[in-house]
Amino acid sequence: MLPLAFAGEGMRVIVRGINGGRGVLSRLIELGLAPGSEVIILRNQMAGPLIVAVRGSQLALGRGLAMKIQVEVEK
C-alpha cells in the first residue's frame, strides 16, 4: 500500500484505508472515497493538487489530504 499522493498518473487504485479523524473520514466518504472505492489518477505532477476520478466525478485533492488516503494498485 502507498499514499494516494504517490500514485502515478493513469493508475487505477483501490482505497484501502484512511488515516485521519472522524471529520476527515466522513468528508472523504461523502466525496466517494470510501474504503473499497476505485480511483483513477488523472493528474499528479508532484506539485499542486491531485485530480482524480471516482464514481463518475472528478475531484481535486490537496497533497496533505492525499497523503492520508492509503491505496493499493489495481492489478
* Beta carbons of 63 and 4 less than 8 angstroms apart: no
The DSSP symbol for 65 reads: H
Let me know the angle formed at the C-alpha of 53 by 51 and 56, rounded to the nearest 5 degrees: 145
Region 51-73 average pLDDT? 95
Structure confidence at residue 75 as a pLDDT band (50, 70, 90): confident
Other beta carbons within 10 angstroms of residue 18's beta carbon come to 19
Q: Residue 51's domain spans which residues?
A: 2-73
Q: What are residue 22's phi and psi, to 5 degrees? A: -60, -40
How does pLDDT run across 15-54, given as a tens digit for each residue? 999 998 999 999 999 999 999 999 999 999 978 999 999 9
Between the alpha carbon of residue 50 and those of residues 5, 22, 66, the distances in Å are 7, 22, 8
Number of domains present in the structure of the chain = 1
Res 20: pLDDT: 87
CATH code: domain of residue 39: 2.30.30.90
The model's pTM: 0.90
